[in-house]
A = this chain, B = another copy of it.
Amino acid sequence: MDRVQLQNDVFSYFNRLGDEIDWRALTTPIEVHLIAKTQYLFRQGECVDRWYFLHSGLVRYVSVSDEGKEFTQTLVKGPKIIGSTRSMVTTSPVLFGIQALEDSVITSYNWAEFYQQMRHDKVFLECYLLFLETIFIAKEERESTFVKDSAERRYLDFCVAYPELKDQIPQQYIASYIGITPVALSRIRQKLKLGHRP
């Protein structure tokens, strides 16, 4: 795995968001993580001070309630920025773990150093701002579906939004992503199947 190549992947992903960023200030070493399917990048409760980039593969953000129930907050397919803004910024334990659903190539920087070195670059700040806006907007839209829509509606929306994941990941993760149990999802699928017969 070529470290320099990976670093360039990160740069070009960022640059795609806007003008060219001047990366010369960045000297913090990049670290490479190869995470096999079902393995965790980090787990809920850890203090994560690194900034991650998923080059290839697929991960889910999973949080577990006190009663031991799993909830999939997000599904992310590379190449994308991943990790917990919250934990980095507030230096508090992450509210979710990140688990690979496919073998994944991930790199990371120490967030404090990364940010310290790049915060002087206006273009970088603008890009990062754009990124934050994007993930915020996604959360905002997702929030409303939980309150307004039925589980069936959420499942149908999921199938439209992630047609390729629909058959690629275990159904239980889809259920957990739309906030219901696998049993309930199975019931919904059954109902939909019947509905399609004329």
Interface residues of A (CB under 8 A from B): 63, 65, 69, 71, 73, 85-86, 89-90, 95, 119-120, 122, 125-126, 128-129, 132-133, 135-137, 139-144, 146-148, 179
Number of copies of chain A assembled together: 2
A132 to B128 CA separation, bound complex (whole angstroms): 10
Most buried by B among A69, A120, A143: A143
A133 to B51 CA separation, bound complex (whole angstroms): 14
Q: B132 contacts A69, CB within 8 Å?
A: no
Q: B142 contacts A143, CB within 8 Å?
A: yes
Lowest 7 A-B CB distances belong to which pairs?
A125-B125, A132-B132, A139-B139, A65-B148, A86-B137, A136-B136, A147-B179
7 pairs, A vs B, C-beta closer than 8 Å: A69-B148, A85-B137, A122-B122, A125-B126, A132-B132, A136-B139, A146-B146
